């Protein structure tokens, strides 16, 4: 079950995603931290942040919409209070999620974390607005993304042992492959994607937004097909490893992301419904590999098999319904494949 990711050896490819697992230590009585591959901390800023006003988290169809506002205790409090007890679990890779509203904010957080032991890597949240450039999100502009990654890379190399930089890309872009290449060329050691998609919900009776901030980030099973496509496109575009996330609930979901090109995956929204979801998926993935005679889970990465279109036509011939509305048989097939699996029905 072991995999290597950006120079880090993970005991398995299942990690807890940022923003859904606190700072990690809060889950030690619920989840066996030594059983999971690692965890990504809640986003850390230079100073403590209170976040957005409530309501800031609501359930949606097959997912969740949130506008927490990156509430956190600040990097110094994390280093002093949250990180020390995490060192009891050396087998669990601790990745610190870093964010800011100017490049210098990211650099300051990384420099503070450089002084602490027990951190395996930094995940750079590129989905924050750059207040120096009119509030445009770092990850949606190639030049701003390049400048951010370069600065973060330099800051992370100030120690004797440099820590890897994992760039968490924004999915709200025209070409995820282009942004993946920009991050790689600017010095990223790895990528993580996708972050949440910008969404909105309205209460029809009150005619008001259901989120106080009006818009929020959509996550959960609803975004999985889009996230899977973006991981596939990014993994094809770069040579650095990819962490895949977005709607993972079952072991089979995780396998799909690995096949699409991810080296490891993060479990996020599922932890809200089932706090032990990350550990459950570790066991589930082990069982899946046993059932399918997979000796090394690393062998699944990028192992997607695509049948050429010509070969498909030779075997099955053209569809008798080409150019027409879907047939009853096709609609029935779609309905069967999209029916909720038992494990998901318990959650959403």
Indicate which residues carry an active-site annotation: 128
Q: Counting Cβ atoms within 10 Å, is residue 96 exposed (0-12), middle (13-18) or buried (19+)?
A: buried
Asked whether residue 131 is marked as a ligand-binding residue, the answer is: no
60 DSSP β-pair partners: 63
Q: Judge whether 66 is annotated as a binding position.
A: yes
- Are 52 and 70 in contact by the 8 Å Cβ rule? The answer is no
Contact 28, 50 (CB under 8 A): no
| Residue 301: strand, helix, or coil | coil
Asked whether 125 and 166 are in contact (CB, 8 A), the reply is: no
334-to-237, 316, 323, 330 alpha-carbon distances in Å: 30, 19, 18, 6
What's the order of all strands across the beta sheet hosting 57-60?
Answer: 57-60, 63-66, 215-219, 197-200
Distance CA 316, CA 336 (A): 21
Question: Residue 70 annotated as binding?
Answer: yes
Question: 247 labelled as ligand-binding?
Answer: yes
313 is in an annotated binding site: no
168 is in an annotated binding site: yes
Beta bridge partners of 168: 125, 192
Distance CA 110, CA 315 (A): 55
Q: Tell me whether residue 67 is annotated as binding.
A: yes
Helix-strand-coil percent breakdown of the chain, rounded to 5? 40, 20, 45
Neighbours of 304 (CB within 10 A): 13
- 300 in a known ligand binding site: no
Residue 268 known to bind ligand: yes
220 a known binding residue? yes
**240 is an annotated ligand-binding site residue:** no
| Helix axis angle, 251-260 to 277-291, nearest 10° | 70
69 marked as part of a ligand binding site: yes
194 carries a ligand binding annotation:
yes
Q: How many CB atoms within 10 Å of residue 244?
A: 31
Annotated binding site: 18, 42-43, 66-70, 97, 125, 168, 194-196, 220, 246-247, 268-269
Annotated binding site for substrate: 42, 66-70, 125, 195-196
Annotated binding site for FMN: 18, 42-43, 97, 125, 168, 194, 220, 246-247, 268-269
């Amino acid at each position: 079950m072991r995999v290597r990711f950006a120079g880090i050896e993970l005991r398995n490819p299942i990690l807890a995603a940022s923003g859904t697992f606190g700072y990690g230590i809060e889950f030690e009585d619920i989840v066996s931290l030594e059983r999971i591959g690692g965890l990504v901390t809640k986003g850390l800023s230079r100073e403590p942040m209170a976040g957005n006003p409530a309501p800031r988290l609501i359930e949606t169809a097959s997912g969740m919409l949130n506008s927490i506002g990156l509430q956190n205790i600040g990097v110094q409090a994390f280093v002093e209070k949250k990180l020390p007890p995490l060192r009891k679990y050396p087998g669990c890779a601790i990745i610190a999620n870093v964010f800011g509203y100017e490049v210098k904010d990211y650099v300051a957080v990384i420099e503070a974390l450089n002084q602490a032991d027990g951190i395996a890597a930094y995940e750079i949240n590129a989905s924050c607005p750059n207040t120096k450039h009119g509030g445009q999100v770092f990850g949606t502009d190639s030049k701003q993304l390049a400048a951010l990654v370069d600065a973060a890379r330099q800051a992370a190399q100030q120690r004797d042992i440099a820590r890897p930089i994992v760039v968490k890309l924004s999915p709200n872009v025209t070409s995820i492959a282009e942004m993946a290449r920009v991050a790689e060329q600017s010095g990223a050691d790895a990528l993580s994607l996708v972050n949440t998609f910008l969404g909105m919900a309205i209460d029809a009776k009150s005619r008001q937004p259901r989120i106080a901030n009006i818009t929020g980030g959509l996550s959960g099973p609803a975004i999985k097909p889009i996230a899977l496509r973006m991981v596939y496109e990014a993994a094809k575009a770069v040579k650095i490893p990819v962490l895949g996330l977005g709607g993972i609930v079952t072991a089979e979901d995780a396998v799909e992301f690995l096949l699409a090109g991810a080296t490891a995956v993060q479990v996020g929204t599922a932890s809200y419904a089932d706090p032990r979801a990350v550990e459950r998926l570790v066991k589930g993935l082990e069982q899946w590999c046993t059932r399918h005679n997979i000796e090394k889970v690393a062998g699944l990465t990028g192992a997607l098999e695509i049948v050429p279109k010509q070969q498909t036509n030779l075997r099955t011939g053209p569809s008798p319904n080409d150019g027409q509305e879907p047939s009853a048989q096709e609609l029935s097939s779609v309905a069967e494949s999209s029916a909720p699996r038992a494990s998901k029905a318990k959650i959403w």
